[in-house]
A = this chain, B = another copy of it.
Amino acid sequence: MPHKFRLIVLICWLMALASISCGRQPATRDETQHDPLPSWNDTRAKQALVAFVVRVTTPETPDFVPPAERIAVFDNDGTLWSEQPIYFQLAFALDRIKALAPQHPEWNNREPFKSVLAGDVNSALAGGEAAMLQIVMASHTGMTTEEFERIVRDWIATARHPRFNRPYTDLVYQPMLEVLAYLRAHDFKTYIVSGGGIDFMRPWTEKVYGIPPEQVMGSSVKTKFEMRDNKPVLARLPEIDFIDDKAGKPVGIDKFIGRRPLMAFGNSDGDLQMLQWTSAGSIPRFGLLVHHTDAEREWAYDRESHIGRLSDALDEAPQHGWVVVDMQRDWKVIYPFQQ
């Protein structure tokens, strides 16, 4: 097709003339053209974040990091979405216990189920870790992986947060959605590294955060490959496989990613070791803690909270240069629906 060929040559020549290309734009381009983080106030937190990204993505500068090594890890609960008044996955587990109750008449006389069914969460959780484990196993195991995925999808689509009367996935932080998109626009791979259940997150993280299942890490139960009716399934067993929290986070990162992240985002002491591990690399790294300071628009809690306790990591932040986001001061909006 000589006519088409001449046209392509003409286009290439014109493109050269206009100094445009089909490839990625240089790192600083969108900073000068538009604000990639419009929901962030122009405070030190935003400035430090943008400065770091420019620093590691500007070609032919000393701290340039090749795209393949641009790994950013994000805690989920309290970092990408809210975690009050109870972890959203716990709300799922409690709803699930209620849905399953008709098949388990024995639960009416057995704790922690009895209290769950009576709507008394505090009494249900009075049994501590053992009670929690019973609730998790009863609600999260005993089905195939495909069945569990459907159960999570259904719940996420229908359940409503008690304070805002909205789907739980509406309670994601608009400023963090902007960070995720901003980093991906600069060739970062964005990962979730959560203490929450890996299979509770994967059904919806791609749609909500733009993070595909293979970039989601979390706590897990064991699964078993079985043939059922001549069809292979993975059965979810009532046995913990991995707890992706605290010292488990760097272990999980090494296991799943196999390289040290360049940036780490968390909000609690459960993220301390992930941030320590990230910051211990030989090249510049970035750590950030979301500090929940906004009782009006979200919740305010830190050192004394039993959900998302932030104390040791807050104390360590200055020595590592971790950015501490003051939600009230640094974020213009919290949730997308408030825009």
Residues of B within 8 A of A206 (CB): 68
For A214, the closest partner residue in chain B by CB is B257
A277 x B216 contact (CB < 8 A): no
A250 x B232 contact (CB < 8 A): yes
CB distance from A210 to the nearest CB of B (A): 10
For residue A259, CB closer than 8 A to chain B, the reply is yes
Copies in the complex: 2
For A69, the closest partner residue in chain B by CB is B212
**Complex interface residues of chain A between 63 and 97 (CB less than 8 A to chain B):** 68, 71
Residues of B within 8 A of A220 (CB): 255
For residue A225, CB closer than 8 A to chain B, the reply is yes
CB distance from A208 to the nearest CB of B (A): 15
Residues of B within 8 A of A280 (CB): 231-232
Residues of B within 8 A of A199 (CB): 258
Instruction: List 11 A–B pairs whose Cβ atoms lie within 8 Å, in order of A's numbering.
Output: A11-B20, A145-B254, A198-B255, A213-B257, A216-B258, A225-B247, A225-B251, A231-B280, A232-B273, A232-B276, A234-B250
| Known pairs A198-B255, A225-B248, A234-B277 / 9 extra A-B pairs, C-beta < 8 Å | A4-B18, A8-B18, A11-B15, A11-B20, A68-B206, A71-B214, A223-B254, A234-B250, A256-B256
Main secondary structure of the interface of A (DSSP, over half): helix
B8 x A232 contact (CB < 8 A): no
B214 x A256 contact (CB < 8 A): yes
For A241, the closest partner residue in chain B by CB is B255
For residue A7, CB closer than 8 A to chain B, the reply is yes
Known: A11-B11, A22-B22. A251 touches B223 (CB 8 A): yes
CB distance from A50 to the nearest CB of B (A): 24
How far, in angstroms, from A76 to B160 measured CA to CA in the complex? 46
CB distance from A1 to the nearest CB of B (A): 9
How far, in angstroms, from A223 to B68 measured CA to CA in the complex? 24
How far, in angstroms, from A254 to B160 measured CA to CA in the complex? 29
